[in-house]
């Protein structure tokens, strides 16, 4: 396609998405996809300057105000921000700034920056007349916004009378900031919308925009909107660069300018007159410190309670701001540092079904690989049949994929405008993709199962589970190898492993004499695994490491557990009625008892004498989360050390967590949450102390 055609195509697409985003508050594609369209157009225009038109979306801010509101002209235009996405780009912005200011190295190193979270809401301009709330306007196209005075009046965080003697303030003070909806309020609103059969909002930003831009301010009043103020407008701070001068902007003098020599002064004043000012804001010196702020903020982004999509970095000194001025669309003295996007769209290549060890058939999305949430995603679970139907995603759709923090990737939904004609809804396969026997979904159940106990797919998962680390821990026996052994007809259940001979293995592809010997030795060594590992290996529903330890402690040997009644099981500390029923049912089934017999014949130890001496039960009632890599413990080892002492070791931090143990490269989200909840964070030495004494080490 010729550049001119491609530019025209991009402009059409951008105009379409801009309308959905700004006018209808209902975007179809993630912000990052929209930014990518603008960037693509910008690249064409940079290579072919003759294609730049004055009305090109690259030259515009926002969208024309909607006719539903009275127009509100901005005294000083509301511009947009240039963005950077890496340390390198941040440094390049810094160097440009330094050069424009003619600063020497030393002076540049001492530059002070205000670092603010970039709130993902919508910008607002609020004007006061002698300290009294007078007018509020959205950004609109930057010159003329929408008059939303009555709507903003209902936002509790917006002061109607400024908490300062009006004599201290200019007659016409303008405050700018971001209106946003806290995440909890967003979730509550969507729950209400769903109950009322109304459309759901895609994210808190759209919900905030949709809530503010209501004809009836009473609706806005019911929406729990809030605001963070970040700017005091003075014409003194308005664009003063060459382009602005050429466009004929007039400088209106405001009295505040003299007393607000720094952005940090403005923030202080905003706080004093009664506006919420974001508590994360920091003033730092030098770009390294700016970058450090951005990284710390990103690590905390999911713990804030409202959405942010980056940081805004502002030169603190207003006289320097004025020397830098602005380009036609953005100030030169501030820049947005954007976090990697957490949502992107990509092609849904196929929906496939995987078979777990219990036979559960789980649909999953095979995606064209896409960078999202800081990693490349090509697979995402779709959970079950109803989830696929609810989202109505079809192979061939462009879908929105979300990967936020530690959370596993998720398919949010299709981009309907990009659905090719004739795509059929996806239907759950009637047969197991592995054994081709019919799949079964029982009435009232969400999950579908392959009920063929001999299904090789299930066998593979069961044997791989049996050999996994928390179970019999057979080194070198992963899913692929298990598959190979089943295909070669050497094993059909885990007990067959104990009959494998070196010669049989050595003849298989990918094996040599040595690797065959090693595997046989590893299988042999697994005969002596402690009882909790054996219990996990049996794959009893609801029996993971914690329950297995509780059983081993209480009963000491497998035969005693198998002989126990449901009541006896239920009387065990840490075992409830559902788990007790599941264990009793498992050992009640003939094929499971036969499996245990075969293990016994294979010489697997069943506890009794082989049970390791019980550890002191000094962590009873304590819940300890482990994150990152420890030196002397594997992850399983650390968890076993906790559970064998009666404690719990869940995978996420909650208000019930007693302590978090952080090794190297810990999960940022876990640490942030622990900090927020005031939960002690231990290093490895602290963890050892806790294991020994059962007490948290003294702080300090």
Binding segment toward ligand IVH, per CB under 6 A, in 77-85, 105-113, 347-355, 647-655 = 77-85
Per CB under 6 A, 331 contacts ligand IVH: yes
Residue from 66, 80, 354, 617 that binds ligand IVH (CB under 6 A)?
Answer: 80
Which of residues 266 and 459 has its CB atom nearest to ligand IVH in the complex? 266
Binding segment toward ligand IVH, per CB under 6 A, in 79-87, 153-161, 360-368, 544-552 = 79-87
Question: Which string of x and - marks every residue 116-155 that binds ligand IVH (by CB under 6 A)?
Answer: x-xx---x--------------------------------
Which of residues 312 and 669 has its CB atom nearest to ligand IVH in the complex? 312
Name the nearest CA neighbour of 336 among 85, 599, 693. Answer: 85
- Give dist(CA 516, CA 495) in Å, integer: 18
Residue 298, strand partner residues: none
Question: What backbone phi and psi angles, to 5 degrees, belong to 389?
Answer: -65, -40
Which of residues 146 and 334 has its CB atom nearest to ligand IVH in the complex? 334
The angle at the Cα of 55, spanning 52 to 59, to the nearest 5 degrees, equals 70
- Could you tell me the CA-to-CA distances from 315 to 115, 161, 183 in Å, in that order? 9, 30, 30
Which of residues 237 and 388 has its CB atom nearest to ligand IVH in the complex? 237
Q: How far is the CB of 292 from ligand IVH (least distance, A)?
A: 18
Query: How many other CB atoms sit within 10 Å of the CB of residue 515?
Result: 16
Question: Which string of x and - marks every residue 24-63 that binds ligand IVH (by CB under 6 A)?
Answer: ----------------------------------------
Name the nearest CA neighbour of 213 among 111, 91, 124. Answer: 124
Q: How far is the CB of 190 from ligand IVH (least distance, A)?
A: 22
Six-digit token string for 52: 């730049």
Per CB under 6 A, 328 contacts ligand IVH: no
Name the nearest CA neighbour of 289 among 134, 167, 110. Answer: 110
- Could you tell me the CA-to-CA distances from 382 to 331, 379, 395 in Å, in that order? 44, 10, 13
Q: How far is the CB of 332 from ligand IVH (least distance, A)?
A: 11
Which of residues 80 and 378 has its CB atom nearest to ligand IVH in the complex? 80
Which of residues 312 and 520 has its CB atom nearest to ligand IVH in the complex? 312
Q: Given its phi and psi angles, is residue 116 left (phi above 0), alpha (psi -120 to 50 degrees) or beta?
A: beta
Q: How far is the CB of 300 from ligand IVH (least distance, A)?
A: 15
Question: What backbone phi and psi angles, to 5 degrees, belong to 692?
Answer: -70, -45
Q: Which residue is nearest to ligand IVH (CB)?
A: 123
- Give dist(CA 137, CA 140) in Å, integer: 8
At residue 521, the 3 state secondary structure works out as helix
- Give dist(CA 274, CA 271) in Å, integer: 5
Q: How far is the CB of 230 from ligand IVH (least distance, A)?
A: 4
At residue 555, the 3 state secondary structure works out as helix
Q: How far is the CB of 228 from ligand IVH (least distance, A)?
A: 7
Which of residues 80 and 618 has its CB atom nearest to ligand IVH in the complex? 80
CB crowding 33-56: b at 16 or more within 10 Å, else e? bbeebbebbeebbeeeeebeeeeb
Residue from 273, 336, 415, 538 that binds ligand IVH (CB under 6 A)?
Answer: 336
Active site residues: 118
Per CB under 6 A, 260 contacts ligand IVH: no
Binding site for ligand IVH (CB under 6 A): 79-81, 116, 118-119, 123, 178, 230-231, 312, 331, 334, 336
């Amino acid at each position: 396609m010729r550049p001119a055609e491609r530019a025209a195509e991009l402009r059409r697409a951008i105009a379409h998405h801009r309308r959905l985003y700004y006018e209808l508050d209902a975007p179809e594609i993630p912000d990052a996809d929209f930014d990518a369209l603008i960037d693509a157009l910008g690249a064409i225009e940079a290579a072919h300057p003759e294609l730049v038109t004055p009305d090109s979306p690259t030259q515009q801010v926002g969208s024309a105000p909607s006719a539903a509101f009275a127009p509100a002209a901005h005294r000083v235009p509301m511009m947009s921000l240039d963005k950077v996405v890496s340390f390198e780009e941040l440094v390049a912005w810094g160097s440009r700034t330094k050069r424009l200011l003619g600063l020497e190295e030393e002076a540049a190193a001492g530059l002070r920056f205000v670092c603010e979270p970039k709130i993902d809401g919508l910008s607002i301009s609020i004007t006061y007349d002698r300290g009294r709330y007078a007018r509020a306007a959205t950004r609109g196209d930057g010159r003329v916004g929408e008059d939303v005075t009555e709507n903003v009046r209902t936002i509790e965080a917006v002061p109607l009378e400024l908490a300062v003697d009006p004599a201290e303030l200019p007659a016409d003070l303008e405050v700018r900031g971001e209106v946003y909806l806290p995440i909890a309020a967003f979730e509550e609103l969507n729950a209400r919308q769903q109950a009322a059969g109304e459309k759901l909002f895609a994210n808190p930003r759209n919900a905030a925009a949709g809530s503010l831009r209501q004809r009836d301010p009473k609706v806005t009043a019911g929406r729990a909107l809030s605001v963070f103020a970040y700017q005091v407008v003075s014409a003194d701070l308005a664009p003063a660069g060459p382009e602005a001068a050429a466009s004929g902007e007039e400088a209106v003098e405001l009295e505040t300018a003299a007393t607000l020599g720094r952005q940090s002064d403005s923030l202080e004043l905003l706080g004093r007159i009664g506006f919420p000012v974001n508590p994360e804001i920091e003033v730092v010196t030098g770009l390294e410190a700016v970058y450090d702020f951005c990284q710390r903020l990103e690590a905390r982004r999911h713990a804030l309670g409202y959405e942010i999509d980056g940081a805004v970095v502002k030169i603190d000194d207003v006289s320097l701001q004025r020397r830098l001025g602005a380009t036609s669309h953005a100030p030169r003295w501030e820049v947005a540092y954007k976090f990697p996007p957490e949502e992107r769209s990509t092609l849904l290549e196929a929906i496939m079904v995987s078979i777990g060890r219990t036979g559960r058939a789980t649909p999953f999305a095979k995606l064209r690989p896409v960078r999202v949430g800081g990693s490349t995603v090509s697979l995402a679970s779709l959970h079950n049949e109803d989830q696929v139907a609810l989202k109505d995603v079809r192979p061939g759709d462009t879908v929105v994929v979300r990967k936020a923090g530690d959370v596993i990737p998720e398919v949010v939904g299709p981009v309907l405008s990009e659905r090719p004609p004739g795509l059929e809804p996806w239907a759950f396969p009637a047969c197991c993709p592995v054994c081709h026997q019919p799949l079964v979904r029982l009435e009232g159940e969400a999950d579908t199962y392959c009920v063929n106990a001999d299904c090789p797919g299930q066998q593979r998962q069961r044997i791989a589970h049996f050999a996994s680390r928390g179970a019999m821990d057979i080194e070198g026996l992963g899913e692929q190898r298990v598959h190979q052994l089943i295909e070669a007809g050497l094993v059909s259940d885990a007990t067959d492993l104990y009959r494998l001979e070196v010669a049989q293995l050595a003849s298989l592809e990918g094996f040599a004499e040595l690797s065959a010997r090693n595997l046989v030795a590893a299988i042999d060594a697994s005969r002596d695994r402690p009882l909790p590992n054996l219990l996990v290996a049996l794959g009893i529903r609801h029996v993971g490491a914690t329950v297995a330890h509780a059983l081993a402690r209480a009963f000491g040997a497998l035969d005693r557990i198998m002989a126990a009644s449901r009541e006896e099981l239920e009387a065990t500390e840490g075992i409830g009625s559902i788990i007790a029923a599941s264990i009793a049912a498992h050992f009640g089934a003939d094929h499971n008892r036969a499996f245990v017999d075969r293990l016994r014949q294979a010489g697997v130890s069943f506890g009794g004498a082989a049970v390791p001496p019980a550890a002191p039960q000094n962590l009873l009632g304590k819940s300890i989360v482990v994150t990152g890599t420890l030196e002397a413990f594997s992850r399983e080892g650390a968890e076993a050390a906790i559970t064998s002492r009666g404690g719990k070791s869940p995978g996420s931090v909650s208000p019930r967590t007693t302590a978090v143990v952080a090794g190297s490269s810990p999960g940022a989200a876990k640490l942030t949450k622990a900090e927020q909840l005031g939960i002690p964070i231990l290093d490895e030495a602290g963890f050892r102390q806790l294991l020994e004494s059962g007490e948290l080490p003294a702080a300090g």
